[in-house]
Amino acid sequence: MCMTVDMDRQTLRDWVHRYNAEGLAGLISRVGVGPAPLLNEAQMAELLALVVNGPDPEVDRVVRWRCVDLREQVARRFSVDTTERTIGRWLRQLKLTRLQPRPFHPKKDLAAQETFKKTSVA
């Protein structure tokens, strides 16, 4: 019984050369390395610090970071143009969540809040 296998001549040639060079290990499927990351480790650490510290309302003109805001910061600081989806993926890689605490007024007075609280007599 004769079976025909549709295989390109170049593919067979590549397999033969890989087998001759490396033996059976040369025939194992190989996975490409993929594209190079847009930010290096130092830049990712800086992005993490930026997100954790939060924005300065007077300088950044926002009270909390959104992906669109972080995209602008990444473009300005690292000269990397990317999408909001990529920013969200980077935040997940950094083990950050999209849930954020409510912003607070920068001039709030904790002492005044404590004196205003009603005290209950038990």
Q: What is the pLDDT of residue 86?
A: 95
Please provide the size of the chain in residues. 122
What local confidence, expressed as pLDDT, does residue 69 receive?
A: 94
Per-residue model confidence (pLDDT) at position 113: 80
Asked whether the predicted pLDDT for residue 71 surpasses 60, the reply is yes
Average pLDDT over residues 49-55: 92
Distance CA 80, CA 50 (A): 16
∠ at Cα 71 (97, 35), nearest 5°? 90
The predicted structure's pLDDT at residue 101: 65
Q: Quote the pLDDT of residue 3.
A: 64
Residue 73 confidence (pLDDT) above 80: yes
pTM for this structure?
A: 0.59
Model confidence over 11-38: pLDDT tens digits?
889 999 999 999 999 989 888 888 999 9
- pLDDT of residue 122 exceeding 70, the answer is no
pLDDT at residue 82, as a whole number: 95
Distance CA 60, CA 96 (A): 20
Where exactly are the structural domains of the chain?
41-93
